[in-house]
Amino acid sequence: MKTWIVLGCVLFMGMMAGCGSTVYVEKSSDVLLSAYQTYNWIQKDTLYRKMELLDNNVKSSGDRQLAMLGYRRVDKDPDLLFDYDVLVEKSRKRRSETVYMQPYFRMFYNPYTRFWGTIYFPAQFVGIQSFPEDVTEGTITLTVVDVKSNKTIWQGWSTDEVNSRNLTAQEVERSIRTILKKFH
């Protein structure tokens, strides 16, 4: 019984890990990221109040993830500068779903036994239906710049479907976490 429970937990964890968004990373080949210890965020002018909230969400989420990786944020003379870009846009994707025939019953009369009988016909696979669907996608890009050389040394981005025109704090947290897992 214990092995079935453990096997079920492992399968559940595997399915949940597969639900995450895909992260893409570009890294300078001649840079060793473990040589850096401190960072700061590039200061941006926020034009709207909504952007200020998003700015706070990205930076606080990034600070938590970077602290877990052993980096510390400093205001004076950091080794790295982090910058981010957020893009929310509408796009069309093709969705597919399987189509099944409805199950049904047929009544028949057997003249030899003089009884009514029932035959059950189960649902059967008919095919796959494909259709376009409008979706809203949010992309967060993190860019890391070496302060001394003033060159971009690492960039990671993730695109995921979002539920509204703005990214929620949970969506930002999930994207930043998945991007910074690749920061090594």
Cα-based angle 30, 36, 40 (whole degrees, multiple of 5):
120
Q: Is residue 27 a part of any domain in this protein?
A: yes
pLDDT tens for residues 45-56? Answer: 655 555 788 888
- Helix, strand, coil fractions of the chain, as percent rounded to 5: 30, 45, 30
* Amino acid symbol at 96: S
pLDDT tens for residues 16-38? Answer: 444 557 888 888 888 888 889 99
Q: Is residue 77 a part of any domain in this protein?
A: yes
Assign residue 38 the CATH number of its domain: 3.30.160.670
pTM: predicted TM-score of the whole model, two decimal places? 0.69
Q: Sign of the CA dihedral 73, 75, 77, 80?
A: positive
Which among 87, 95, 39 is positioned nearest to 65, based on CA atoms?
39
Strand partners, 86: 140
pLDDT for res 38: 92
Q: Is residue 90 a part of any domain in this protein?
A: yes
The boundaries of the domain holding residue 105 are 22-180
Q: Is residue 17 a part of any domain in this protein?
A: no
Query: Quick check: 7 pLDDT over 60?
Result: no
Query: Quick check: 4 pLDDT over 80?
Result: no
- Write the Ramachandran bin of 77: left for phi over 0, alpha for psi from -120 to 50, otherwise beta: left
Structure tokens at 129: 């239906």
31: DSSP letter: -
Number of domains in the chain: 1
* Amino acid symbol at 33: L
The answer to whether 121 touches 105, Cβ cutoff 8 Å, is yes
Q: Is residue 8 a part of any domain in this protein?
A: no
CA distance 155 to 146: 12
Q: Which residues contact 91 (CB under 8 A, 6 or more apart)?
A: 134, 135, 136, 137
In this prediction, residue 143 has a pLDDT band, given cuts at 50, 70 and 90, of: very high
Q: How many helices (H) and strands (E) does the chain have?
A: 3, 8
Q: Is residue 149 a part of any domain in this protein?
A: yes
Phi–psi pair at 133, nearest 5 degrees: -140, 135
pLDDT for res 23: 87
What number is the average pLDDT over the span 132-159? 91
Q: Is residue 1 a part of any domain in this protein?
A: no
CA 108 to each of CA 102, 112, 124: distance values in angstroms, whole numbers, following the listed order = 19, 12, 21
